[in-house]
Amino acid sequence: MSLHAALRGGAHSVFERSENLLDAFFGGADNPLRHLGALGLFFLWILVASGLYLYTVLDTSIEGVYGSISWLTQEQWYLGGVLRSLHRYASDAFVIVMFLHLLREWAYGRYHGFRLYSWVTGVPLIWLVFISGIGGYWIVWDRLAQFSAVATTELLDWLPIFDGVTARNFLAPDSINDRFFTVLVFIHIGVPLMLILGLWAHVNRISRVDYLPTRRVMLATLGAFLLLAAIKPAVSDAPADLSLAVNDARLDWFILFLHPLTDLTSAGAVWTLIFGATILLFALPFLPHPGRQPIAVVDAQNCNGCSRCHADCPYEAIVMAPHPEKRAHKIAVVDADLCAACGICAGSCPSSTPFRSQQRLVTGIDMPQLPVDALRRQLEARLAELSGGTRLVVFGCDRSADVGALAAPDTATLSLICAGMLPPSFVEYALRSGADGVVVAGCRDGGCEFRLGMEWTRERLTRRREPQLRQLVPLERIEVVPVARGEGRKLAAAVAEFRTRLESQGEVANRPPAYTRRNHG
């Protein structure tokens, strides 16, 4: 095993354990580690809203900039002071969440293949965040701003393009003027606008983006920021004085950590670290990694152009185009670069039903590595082997807990690429073929490897999304169990509890006659 694989495996284990632990307290929907991207966007909107107000009262003259911010903080503490603190703490939180999001996606291996575009477009955003954050501290023009300005320009002067002249702008009190702050404010507004545009590009190829966390998470984080604002409000240091050197500034270690790093090493070492990390992040998708799985395949004869696969695809990999043989009809077309090979599209196809009497089941869209016909044959074989009292069929997910360990004479198990690949008709087929109950096990809420697999599965089985489970199928004979990889015991306990509940409700006694394609063809 390579060092990279070992490090990523360790990080994966840490994130998975942490997320499972937080699930016990918050649940999947409110677990912050499962919604880091949405949290980051929420913090960004706090920054934009508070920043717009702060800008309206800012005096951009060299004499007035410090005084206007101090007035805002002290005299208008009930609004301006609180908003300034919100601006400060939301910016720190945004940086923390950004790095956690980056680290989590790397740990889970979500940086190559169909995720290449999102990864590559996300790397430049790191630069924009720090440019905007560092520039924001300069606007205050206190001792910390002076220290940051001098340290940053000395770092820039190491680059040949600046030729060692930028730091000269901060050597004497008369070396800067009002125009400096006007340009600085323009940059501090312009760069976040570029950041917002970059974020739009970052999620452009993802459908149903999680733009905001749940209301409870938003209220909780906003409340935490307000509490911090009350306990430790953001205040200015002493006014900047270019005639004096600054040696004891109170640093924001989340945004300004490069300054002490430069003092400890050198400007060359810091630039080597910055450019090296950036190049490494861009290069990661092109390093050796597991090969891609075969993408979804469309069968023109069986595709009726219903567009359900297009609506359900988590990565917008399917578009509808004119049918090559049927006039006025549409056909699904799969983009090979965007296809996640998750099989969710096969689960949404109305022709993916085992009740069709074809000897070989051919669907409108299917996965070559696990065709729906193979799934039907596996299910029929497992059903034929079932014996005992309460007979269960357990459909699992390759990215979730291993269902194979549950196999027994009274329990048939089948694992799919993703729980979202399961057509609801297979659940009905299992129940009509002698099973007393069906368990569908998939990833935890908010933790689906393909984002929407478990969500679509739940909605289909509860008749809120097409293809729906038919009304004649009793929901009390179906159990959906969200579990993470490695939670085999939890899954086994849930299956045992479900079996007990079926027996106590008398569902076993009400088992319908076994279904076969021969007598229902």
Residue 517 lies in a domain: no
Mark whether 279 and 309 lie in a shared domain: no
Mark whether 233 and 178 lie in a shared domain: yes
Q: Note the pLDDT tens digit of each residue in 226-272.
A: 999 999 999 999 998 888 888 778 889 999 999 999 989 999 999 99
Residue 71 lies in a domain: yes
Mark whether 261 and 313 lie in a shared domain: no
Considering 286, 320, 354, which residue would you say is the last residue of a domain? 286
Q: What is the pTM of this model?
A: 0.90
Considering 225, 259, 286, which residue would you say is the last residue of a domain? 286
Handedness of CA 337, 342, 344, 349 (dihedral sign): positive
**Which of 144 and 291 is assigned the larger pLDDT?**
144
Is pLDDT at 520 greater than 70 in this prediction?
A: no
Mark whether 202 and 330 lie in a shared domain: no
Residue 375 lies in a domain: yes
Mark whether 260 and 304 lie in a shared domain: no
Residue 5 lies in a domain: no
Mark whether 265 and 308 lie in a shared domain: no
* Residue 131, C-beta contacts closer than 8 angstroms, at least 6 positions apart: 187, 191
Mark whether 398 and 470 lie in a shared domain: yes
Q: Note the pLDDT tens digit of each residue in 494-514.
A: 999 999 999 998 756 555 555
* pLDDT at residue 37 in the model: 94
- Look up the CATH number of the domain holding residue 207: 1.20.810.10
Number of domains in the chain: 2
Is pLDDT at 27 greater than 50 in this prediction?
A: yes
Structural domain of residue 463, as residue ranges?
Answer: 297-505
The band of 355, judged by pLDDT with boundaries at 50, 70 and 90, is very high
Q: Note the pLDDT tens digit of each residue in 161-218.
A: 877 677 677 666 777 877 888 888 888 889 999 999 999 999 988 988 988 999 999 9
Mark whether 363 and 436 lie in a shared domain: yes
Residue 448 lies in a domain: yes
Residue 465 lies in a domain: yes
**Helices within 368-487 (DSSP H only):** 372-385, 424-432, 453-461
Mark whether 273 and 362 lie in a shared domain: no
Residue 22 lies in a domain: no
Residue 306 lies in a domain: yes
**CB 60 within 8 Å of CB 53:** no
Sheet arrangement for strand 392-397: 411-416, 392-397, 437-442, 478-482
* pLDDT at residue 246 in the model: 86
Mean pLDDT is lowest, of 60-64, 202-206, 331-335, for 60-64
Considering 259, 286, 313, which residue would you say is the last residue of a domain? 286
C-alpha–C-alpha distance, residues 159 and 181, integer Å = 24
Q: How many beta carbons lie within 10 A of that of residue 92, not counting itself?
A: 17
C-alpha–C-alpha distance, residues 63 and 176, integer Å = 11
Mark whether 462 and 333 lie in a shared domain: yes
Mark whether 244 and 118 lie in a shared domain: yes
Mark whether 316 and 275 lie in a shared domain: no
Q: What 3-state class would DSSP assign to 22? A: helix
